[in-house]
Structure 1
Amino acid sequence: MNTEQARFNMIQQQIRPWEVLDPGVLALLSVVKREDFVPAEHRELAFADVEIPLKPGARPGQTMLPPRVEARLLQELAVRNTDKVLEIGTGSGYMAALLAAKAEFVYSVEIDPELVERARRNLQQAGVANVSVDLGDASRGWDLYAPYDAIVVSGSLPVLPEALLRQLKIGGRLIAVVGEAPTMEARLIRRPDEDAFSSENLFETVVAPLDNALQPEKFVF
């Protein structure tokens, strides 16, 4: 495989058509080597438009998102170099590396111990120093370092937990894929003041659910 040609094709054929046109984001996708964060057994899929399992027998949420989804989420979150960012669901560490290139610091949380170690190793080998990877369940937020300027959820949520929204700073942004298959939408949530949140639907997609995600209340007849 011609790696650089495959990367170029990914950007031009998958990512640009998904309205990812920010020059900074496109340049970053050329610099942060996605193939270095893909499990060795799936390296040939590094630039394919698919979710990639991160370990043998991986659960639905233990995947890398398709490149076009990662890129669009990154663009819409509009991370600044003064931002303190929370990522929920570290996976391989690839999204954390992208975020870290734009943020002051990234706090990433992963529920699977094996993936925590792998992500830490991947990030270290990539020379990324402004990311910490914690082991834990952040499906309802991670108050250890709250509040955050930006939050990104690297898996879908049937509903957005109120506790997670409350961990945003005033002026902060949160991006997550919300809903249940086959109907999910990527949403950008902003917190303009203490008690107000605005929501913008960005695009429709279907991605695997986050482990232990809050479930909607079911009516019992």
Structure 2
Amino acid sequence: MSEPDFTTLHQRMLAEIAAKTIFATTYLGKAALDGRVMEALAKVPRHVFVPIELRPYAYVDTPLPIGYGKTISQPFIVAVMTDLLRVRPTDTVLEIGTGLGYQSAILSELAQQVYSIELIEELARQARQRLARQGCANVEVKIGNGCHGWPERAPFDRVIVTAAPELIPPALIYQLKPGGRMVIPAGLPEAQQLLLVEKDDDGAISTREIFQVLFSTLEDTEAE
């Protein structure tokens, strides 16, 4: 496919996200996503963050396989999770589950610094390459167990998790700054909910269910 083809499909994806947001007003409490989020989605080419054989489907509003039993999330879900995070230009963000780097690239447009953890070494290697080619200099990727967070870089203004644990890992709550926000899917595979977690200035935690989702499981390699 040519770049003009991708441009047209990219524009259709943005229009579909905008339409689906209107239908999700009941869950989101608003009919449109933040302008900065939509600008980031418009700027980052999703097709460079999917396997080459799937590029014709890059702008379809569906998850796509990226190998190792993992997927790149549906564009609408990426948009909603990013919007819920309310990333500010001065924020430091922790991402759990780099995949091939698409969500990282979106966050790099919005935050001062992004730290991303990927369990699978080959995915982390590819993500670094793809992010570098897109000029995402403010993203650092490491291989590791996302359930532990990144203590050396903590605390974080924002935390986003792109795989689902049954329960929110305590380390991620601990590494979230007072006044911070976390967006995470959690629950049993058949009953996952997208959660917004907020820590107030005194360190008290509140959670809000947004809607039901289906993510791959967040693996804790030391829990077995």
- Please give the TM-score of this superposition, normalised by the length of structure 1: 0.89
User: In structure 2, how many angstroms separate the alpha carbons of the residues matched to 1:214 and 1:195?
Assistant: 27
Deviation of residue 92 (structure 1)? 0.6
User: In structure 2, how many angstroms separate the alpha carbons of the residues matched to 1:140 and 1:159?
Assistant: 13
The reply on whether 1:12 has 2:15 as its aligned counterpart is: yes
User: In structure 1, how many angstroms separate the alpha carbons of the residues matched to 2:21 and 2:212?
Assistant: 11
Which residue of 2 is the match for residue 29 of structure 1? 41
Which residue of 2 is the match for residue 176 of structure 1? 184
CA RMSD of aligned residues (A): 1.7
Write the letter of the residue equivalent to 2:66: L
2:208 corresponds, among 187, 200, 203, to 200
Query: Runs of 4 or more off by more than 3 Å in structure 1?
Result: none
- Please give the TM-score of this superposition, normalised by the length of structure 2: 0.88
Greater helix share, structure number: 2
**1:104-135, Cα deviation, whole Å (9 max, x unpaired):** 10000111111111000001000110010011
Write the letter of the residue equivalent to 1:134: K
Secondary structure of the corresponding residue to residue 78 of structure 2: helix
Deviation of residue 191 (structure 1)? 0.7
Deviation of residue 213 (structure 1)? 7.6
Write the letter of the residue equivalent to 2:42: S
Write the letter of the residue equivalent to 2:191: T
Which consecutive residues of structure 1, in runs of 5 or more, have no partner in the other structure?
216-221
Q: Is the 8 A contact 2:147 2:171 kept in 1?
A: no
Write the letter of the residue equivalent to 1:50: T
User: In structure 1, how many angstroms separate the alpha carbons of the residues matched to 2:148 and 2:21?
Assistant: 29
**1:139-165, Cα deviation, whole Å (9 max, x unpaired):** 232212111000000111211122210
Deviation of residue 21 (structure 1)? 2.4
Q: Is the 8 A contact 2:9 2:59 kept in 1?
A: yes
Write the letter of the residue equivalent to 1:180: L
Sequence identity (%): 35
Deviation of residue 200 (structure 1)? 1.4
Secondary structure of the corresponding residue to residue 200 of structure 2: strand
Which residue of 2 is the match for residue 219 of structure 1? none
